[in-house]
Structure 1
Amino acid sequence: MKLLPFLLPALLGASSALATTYPLTLTDDLGRKVTIQSEPKRLISVLPSNTETLCALGVCDRLVGVDDYSDFPAQVTKLPKVGGLYNPNIEAMVAQKPDLVVVSKYGKLAEPLTAAGITVVAVNPETFDDVFSKTQLLGRIVNRETQAKNLVIQMRRDIARTEVLTRAAVRKPTAYYEVDPTPYTVGPNSFIGVLLSKAGAVNIIPASLGDFPKISPELVVQKSPQLILGLDLATAKARPGWAGIAAVKSGRVLKLPAELETILGRPGPRLPQALAGLARLVHPELFR
């Protein structure tokens, strides 16, 4: 007990070291220098992944508006909707008198909102590593750095638990993941591509094609993956030449469950659940 007076200052110093000092100046994902004058108390989020992260950091109650697609956690569905990236309702945003609007780097929202006198920061997680770095950035912006650090630690732990299982898999199937029937797919270095690898699959798409390339359907025929994700078996069978693909012949063509498909479109705090969901599809034998 005699050590307590000496420990308290050290502990208090450690916690205050993670408190944000305002004004805070940072460079956002649009390459703009943004100064946040004080801890924001009225927030608008125009990207579902950022909405989820802000709520996971414990500031859901500060949200006064969200984009049309933000629907998790459930409490955000009761908030005023302010449009989407490409059909924003600027008037609705201004009416909420936000201290800060968190936008994507797409959609060109920064200019009109800044012109209206509103502080805007673009935070746009796109890669696997971005999920962690942008979580910490948002934590810094809203003075929740300790919560952000703890959230990242927990996410990495949950991801590691799934990876322990998938690394033990005897065989790793070659896989094709379809984003839409154009067809667009995912490269191995994309956010989803990294998750696919961690789930114990081998992506047939070369990294040289990019993160979300539009491909020729003939490439899938040529590579003949053992697993196809993102469409149903009947659709795959109906495509010219696809009946001979290994996955089609074995019936390993799987449409994603709706919730998993949603989570995979949102690089945010539900990253561990996204990986676990993919792993169950790739290696169901590990989860029986």
Structure 2
Amino acid sequence: MKMTKMTALLLAAAMALTACGSTAAASSTAASEAASVEAAAAPEATAAPEEPAAETAVTYPLTVTDQLGREVTIEEEPKTLASGYYISTSLLIALGVQNELVGVEAKADKRNLYSLSAPEIQSLPSIGTAKEFDLEGCAALAPDLVIVPAKLKDSIPQMEEMGLTVLAVKPENQAGLFGAIELLAQATNTTARGEELEMAIDSNLAALAEAVAGTDAPSVYLAGNSSVLETAGPAMYQNTMIENANGTNAAASVEDTYWAEVSYEQILDWNPDYIILASDAEYDVDSVLNDAALADCTAVKESHVYQLPHAVEAVDSPVPASFLGSVYLASVLHPEQVTEEYYHAAADEFYGSFYGFTPESYE
């Protein structure tokens, strides 16, 4: 029944995405992956998901509240957009308005997700980063709407003085991600697509929660980008990912709101069952396994050291596909309940439905 249950869950997720307007090819891929898990077992009966609500007409002028609590009036439906944040750019692609972008964040040409889903945006003018935003460059593009990270809150008044309409997003956790989806979907008149996106994420997380329910929760040390001596405490999104996968954060006592620096002694004291490297880690699994200072750590002794997927994008940040980080981690922590094939099928379904491609690599 274990594999039958997983098959049913994956088929249910595929059905949910299909009902939300996903491509037939992607749905077929997920269904065939699920069927291959246990061809002889019939999936448990699953109620058909509800159809998404009909498109709600957005009328302009439109006043919305952004994620800094600012009330912003958008006079007309925006035809040109500028995004100064990779998460908002990824969201705009998922909402299907990438062709309206006239400017994007710096280093967009380095992002694999863009090259796979919307390569044309990689040659758009850069409007900088949260640390070095190009106010003049952005204003010169004359976008109808600018989306920036909340970190740029001190620059927003100057943008408005330049005549720009600006929305700030702060998707630092699951609720924040959904808030950003709803905000940008309303602002760009794509509310139905936004609802489809949220439903897809919700259905995948619900299926995952059911799959890992009742399993023991191993301790997980999530190491940072720069060093194994950096970790994510409970205030970071990565903690949510660990909890979604039914693990416990070894660094639960850390109070930092960003990557915290710790010592080898502290890691050995926590003695995690698993060490998971961040997607964008600048070191590799072998370097941790061969680190003499960690030789007595349970995770190292049992070779339970892995790196989160990064071939398409970093899934340990709150991008639309961030739930895949939880699914992957669950396949590591609970391989009998969540198989590698299940993770692959979930990735195929989601990227196919909202980004128009099937990953060639799942690493």
Q: Residue 95 in 1 paired to residue 133 in 2?
A: no
Question: What is the number of residues matched between the two proteins?
Answer: 271
- Structure 1 stretches of 4+ moved >6 Å: none
Segment drifting more, 148-157 vs 231-240: 231-240
The corresponding residue for 1:235 is 288
Is the 1:233–1:251 contact (alpha carbons within 8 Å) kept by the matching residues of 2? Answer: no
Q: 1:128 aligns with which of 174, 181, 206?
A: 174
The corresponding residue for 2:76 is 38
Is the 1:114–1:120 contact (alpha carbons within 8 Å) kept by the matching residues of 2? Answer: yes
Q: Residue 248 in 1 paired to residue 319 in 2?
A: no
Structure 1 residue 26, shift from structure 2 partner: 3.0
Going from structure 1 to structure 2, the CA distance change for 1:93 and 1:83 (only over 3 Å counts) comes to same
Task: State how far apart, in whole Å, the 1-side matches of 2:171 and 2:98 are.
Answer: 19
CA deviation profile, 1:181-201 (whole Å, cap 9, x unmatched): 273322235322111111121
Q: Residue 163 in 1 paired to residue 231 in 2?
A: no
Is the 1:103–1:109 contact (alpha carbons within 8 Å) kept by the matching residues of 2? Answer: no
- Give SS of 1:82's match: coil
Structure 1 residue 114, shift from structure 2 partner: 1.7
Is the 1:187–1:209 contact (alpha carbons within 8 Å) kept by the matching residues of 2? Answer: yes
Is the 1:155–1:272 contact (alpha carbons within 8 Å) kept by the matching residues of 2? Answer: yes
Task: State how far apart, in whole Å, the 2-side matches of 1:268 and 1:112 are.
Answer: 28
Q: 2:244 aligns with which of 180, 198, 210?
A: 198
Going from structure 1 to structure 2, the CA distance change for 1:129 and 1:207 (only over 3 Å counts) comes to farther
Q: Residue 54 in 1 paired to residue 92 in 2?
A: yes
- Output aligned runs, 1:1-288, within 5 Å: 15=54, 18-70=56-108, 71=111, 72-74=113-115, 75=118, 76-107=121-152, 108-167=154-213, 169=215, 171-180=216-225, 181=227, 183-206=229-252, 209-217=255-263, 218-230=265-277, 232-235=285-288, 237-238=290-291, 240=293, 242-259=294-311, 262-265=314-317, 267-285=318-336, 286-287=338-339
Structure 1 residue 168, shift from structure 2 partner: 5.5
Is the 1:54–1:138 contact (alpha carbons within 8 Å) kept by the matching residues of 2? Answer: yes
Task: State how far apart, in whole Å, the 2-side matches of 1:207 and 1:35 are.
Answer: 42
Structure 1 residue 29, shift from structure 2 partner: 2.8
User: What is the identity, as a one-letter code, of the residue corresponding to 2:251?
Assistant: I
Structure 1: which 5+ runs fail to align? 1-13
TM superposition score normalised by structure 2: 0.68
Is the 2:106–2:128 contact (alpha carbons within 8 Å) kept by the matching residues of 1? Answer: yes
Segment drifting more, 121-130 vs 180-189: 180-189
Going from structure 1 to structure 2, the CA distance change for 1:175 and 1:261 (only over 3 Å counts) comes to farther
Task: State how far apart, in whole Å, the 1-side matches of 2:253 and 2:58 are.
Answer: 38
TM superposition score normalised by structure 1: 0.84
Task: State how far apart, in whole Å, the 2-side matches of 1:264 and 1:274 are.
Answer: 6
CA deviation profile, 1:231-253 (whole Å, cap 9, x unmatched): 5243365364x221111111112
Structure 1 residue 87, shift from structure 2 partner: 2.1
Structure 1 residue 276, shift from structure 2 partner: 2.0
User: What is the identity, as a one-letter code, of the residue corresponding to 1:21?
Assistant: T
- Give SS of 2:64's match: strand
Task: State how far apart, in whole Å, the 1-side matches of 2:328 and 2:64 are.
Answer: 35
CA deviation profile, 1:71-119 (whole Å, cap 9, x unmatched): 3343132332222221222333222210011000114442332221111
CA RMSD of aligned residues (A): 2.4
Structure 2: which 5+ runs fail to align? 1-52, 278-283, 341-363
CA deviation profile, 1:142-178 (whole Å, cap 9, x unmatched): 1111221121111111222233322254x33211001
Structure 1 residue 58, shift from structure 2 partner: 1.6
